[in-house]
Every structure is written in structure tokens, then in C-alpha cells.
């Protein structure tokens, strides 16, 4: 039986949840699942906005058939060709062979690459408008949000922005389609941040370019390809403000994120002592063992915090492997504009700080504090002065609460 939600009188959600997927894109854990959103417009013409992942094909096709209510499908808009949204496109076109694919040039080439088939396509360009009856859509290219072919569209009739991957959130919908049906900013923002920073975080300038295109539009609703639909003005502007911060690499809050790796607990102890010292000074702290917490969560936390402390043992005359991986992830995601402090441990030739500094050298506008803290095996009473100097130098960079 179908499982759909009505968005407006003539717009339906016909997507599906996937709670069996272990790793999104093969790399990001999704313990609360993920939704693949697809939308069906029932105007003089029938228009489907994107398809879904293969995992939910059966539900999706049933939803589309029910939504159409016996009508034919005239168009399917492919905003994004990545297979989590397009894997069922060919199956859909087999079922509705008269449907025309609306896409851009790049998308058409990718359809041919992925499926070895040339669709019956109507190619749209930047700013082009198409009318389906009452509803007129305008198309805007949004390259690298998240692939080069991505486009978004705006329905001027009811102010709906079909935003492709932008404004998506990890997590199954569990029946709640709209962000106002849940405590989005309390309970789901962290998964929206983890989704954004890991999927699109590298492409801040391209996201800024897309936000500038959207700024003049009278948006009343945002309908992304994953997660909740936004229909409240306050929520829409608050979420856009988050995207503005994330894509300009602006910290969301004054906070020290401490990420540490520890083999026998001594580096962890140094990190814990620092956390206590910072808390005593009224400074917010977020803390992760990089060997335990998935990198995607730490990347997201790093995009939130103003200050980052990395603490790691020296290992194979380099930096401990899980910390090395995390730092490469952060550099790959273009993280910038942070204050950074480094703690290294080493029993005979400590050099982890040097290697951490080297990996972070490719990040722009990092203020890496000059004096690293070096732990020789374990902190002892003789290290008190060095620890104090390290901690106070870090505290001195944290703005006082207003």
C-alpha cells in the first residue's frame, strides 16, 4: 500500500525512508536511517521531482502510481544525478515511457554514463522557466552542491524551493515530513550539520554562490532530497543562516573541541585535565576520542566550534593513525578560520605535533598556537608549569562571554 504525504493541494511527497543502510555513500554512518525524498506535482501536467535510491524502489513506484491516480507522468525533473536520487530513474521511465526528463546538459551526459541510455530529455539552462499549468518553475544551476550537475528549481506559484541535496538532513523521517512536526533545531540540527559538513563542506564558495542566487526568491517552503521539508519562515531563515555560517567556515559558537587519540590513556589524561581547566574558566568544551567516534561526527563538531585542540601520541615517527586520518578529513573538507592548539606525546622522540602541523598547513586562516604541549609518556608534577603555560595561552584566545 502507498505511503505518501500531502504538502499542498497539488504537491505530494512520494519518497521513502531507508533504515537498513549502514553507511551512506559507503562512508557515513546513518544510525537513524535516511530519507530519499521525491515530490509529485499534479498540475495540468504531472511532474515528478527526482526519483530515489534502489533500496526503496518498490515503495516509491507504488507511491508514484497512487499519487498519479491513473494519470500519465508527463515530466521527471532530475535535479541531481547521484544514484541515491536517480538509481530508479530508468525503471521509472520504463513504467512511464512517455515521460520527458527535464535536466541540464551535464545531467544528460551523466545519465548516459551511468545507465548507457539516452533519455528523452528537455534541457534547461540557468534562469530558464517552464510552465506546467498554474505552476511555473525557474531553474538555477548549483554546481558542486554537491556534484557539478546539480540544479535547483523554484515554483513561483506556491514559493517552493526544490533544493536538491542542499538543506538535507540525515535520518529517516519516521512519518514526520515537516520540520515543525519535530524539534528540528533541538534534536535534528546535529544530523543536518553532519550531513552538510561531510557531503558539501568542502565546497563553501559554491554554496555561497547558490545562496546568493536564492536570496531574492520569496521562498515559502524548502523541499530537499533528504530529511524534512521546511515551511515556517523562522525555520527557513534560521536554517539558511546556518548554511551561511557553515559555507563561510564561520564558527557557530565559542567552544573548544578537544579531539584526542590515546594508546594507554596518558594523552587522554592530558586532554581531560585541559577540559577541566577550560570548564573552570567558564569555557564550553566538546570532546572526542578519535579512535572511537566516527570522523564524520568530529568533522561536524569542528565546523561548529571556534577552537580546536588535537592531542595525539607519536607513532611510527609520525602521528597516531586515527588522528592522522581525522586531520586529513578536516583538511579535505576545507576547514578554516579556527584557533588550534596541539598536544603531542612521545616516550623517546615526540614529533606528533610537527606532523599534525604539517597536515593542517593546507587549511586556510588557522591560528595554530606557537607553543605545543609535549608530554613525555605521562604528565607529572614537573610538567605543571608547561601545562599551565599551554592552557593559559589557549584561554587567552577565547573571547570572554558578553
191 lines the binding site for ligand FEO (CB under 6 A): no
| Site membership for ligand FEO, residue 142 (CB under 6 A) | no
CB of 170 to ligand FEO, least distance (A): 10
Q: Is residue 88 a contact partner of residue 54, using CB atoms and an 8 Å limit?
A: yes
Coil, helix or strand at residue 175: coil
User: What's the half-sphere exposure (Cβ side, CA atoms, 13 Å) at 179?
Assistant: 29
- Out of 43, 74, 84, 297, which residue is the one contacting ligand FEO (CB under 6 A)? 84
Which range of residues in 41-49, 77-85, 129-137, 170-178 is near ligand FEO by CB under 6 A? Answer: 77-85
- Which of residues 74, 82, 155, 324 is near ligand FEO by CB under 6 A? 82
Identity of the residue, 77 or 308, whose beta carbon is nearer to ligand FEO in the bound complex: 77
**Rounded least distance, CB 197 to ligand FEO, Å:** 14
- Find the binding residues for ligand FEO in span 314-353 (CB under 6 A): none
Q: What are phi and psi of 75, to 5 degrees?
A: -140, 150
194 binds ligand FEO (CB under 6 A): no
Contacts of 31 (CB under 8 A, 6+ apart): none
Instruction: Work out whether 146 is an interface residue with ligand FEO (CB under 6 A).
Output: yes
Among 165, 191, 268, 324, binds ligand FEO (CB under 6 A): 165
Nearer to ligand FEO, 165 or 329 (CB): 165
CB 300, CB 251: distance < 8 Å: no
Q: Whole-number minimum distance, CB 201 to ligand FEO, in Å?
A: 13
Min CB(26)–ligand FEO separation in Å = 13
Alpha-carbon distance of 142 to 126, in angstroms, equals 9
229-232 long-range contacts, CB within 8 A, separation 24+: 229/7, 229/13, 229/37, 229/177, 229/178, 229/179, 230/167, 230/178, 230/179, 231/178, 231/179, 231/180, 232/179, 232/180
Neighbours of 197 (CB within 10 A): 23
What is the binding site for ligand FEO (CB under 6 A)?
80, 82, 84-85, 146-147, 165, 225-226
Amino acid at each position: 500500500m502507498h505511503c505518501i504525504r500531502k504538502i499542498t493541494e497539488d504537491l505530494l511527497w512520494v519518497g521513502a525512508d531507508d533504515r537498513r543502510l549502514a553507511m551512506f555513500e559507503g562512508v557515513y554512518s546513518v544510525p537513524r536511517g535516511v530519507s530519499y525524498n521525491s515530490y509529485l506535482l499534479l498540475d495540468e501536467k504531472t511532474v515528478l521531482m527526482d526519483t530515489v535510491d534502489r533500496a526503496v524502489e518498490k515503495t516509491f513506484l507504488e507511491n508514484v502510481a497512487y499519487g498519479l491516480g491513473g494519470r500519465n507522468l508527463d515530466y521527471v525533473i532530475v535535479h541531481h544525478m547521484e544514484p541515491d536520487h536517480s538509481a530508479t530513474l530508468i525503471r521509472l521511465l520504463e513504467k512511464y515511457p512517455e515521460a520527458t526528463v527535464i535536466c541540464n546538459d551535464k545531467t544528460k551526459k551523466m545519465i548516459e554514463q551511468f545507465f548507457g541510455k539516452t533519455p528523452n530529455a528537455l534541457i534547461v539552462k540557468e534562469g530558464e522557466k517552464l510552465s506546467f499549468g498554474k505552476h511555473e518553475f525557474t531553474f538555477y544551476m548549483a554546481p558542486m552542491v554537491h556534484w557539478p550537475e546539480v540544479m535547483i528549481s523554484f515554483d513561483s506559484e506556491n514559493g517552493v524551493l526544490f533544493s536538491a541535496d542542499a538543506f538535507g538532513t540525515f535520518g529517516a523521517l519516521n512519518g514526520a515530513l515537516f520540520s515543525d512536526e519535530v524539534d528540528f533545531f533541538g534534536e535534528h540540527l546535529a544530523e543536518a550539520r553532519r550531513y552538510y559538513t561531510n557531503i558539501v563542506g568542502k565546497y563553501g564558495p559554491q554554496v555561497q554562490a547558490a545562496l546568493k542566487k536564492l536570496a531574492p526568491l520569496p521562498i515559502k517552503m524548502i523541499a530537499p532530497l533528504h530529511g524534512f521539508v521546511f515551511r515556517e519562515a523562522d525555520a527557513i531563515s534560521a536554517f539558511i543562516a546556518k548554511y551561511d555560517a557553515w559555507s563561510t567556515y564561520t564558527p557557530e559558537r565559542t567552544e573548544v573541541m578537544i579531539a584526542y587519540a590515546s594508546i594507554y590513556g596518558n594523552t587522554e589524561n592530558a586532554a581531560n585535565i585541559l577540559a577541566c581547566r577550560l570548564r573552570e574558566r567558564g569555557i564550553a568544551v566538546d570532546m572526542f576520542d578519535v579512535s572511537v567516534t566516527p570522523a564524520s561526527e568530529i568533522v561536524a563538531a569542528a565546523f561548529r566550534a571556534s577552537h580546536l585542540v588535537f592531542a595525539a601520541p607519536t607513532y611510527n615517527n609520525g602521528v597516531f593513525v586515527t588522528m592522522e586520518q581525522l586531520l586529513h578529513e578536516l583538511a579535505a573538507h576545507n576547514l578554516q578560520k579556527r584557533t588550534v592548539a596541539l598536544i603531542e606525546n612521545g616516550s623517546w622522540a615526540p614529533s606528533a605535533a610537527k606532523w599534525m602541523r604539517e597536515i593542517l598547513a593546507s587549511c586556510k586562516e588557522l591560528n595554530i598556537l606557537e607553543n605545543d604541549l609535549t608530554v613525555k609518556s605521562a604528565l607529572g608534577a614537573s610538567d605543571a608549569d608547561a601545562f599551565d603555560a599551554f592552557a593559559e595561552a589557549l584561554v587567552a584566545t577565547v573571547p570572554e562571554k558578553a
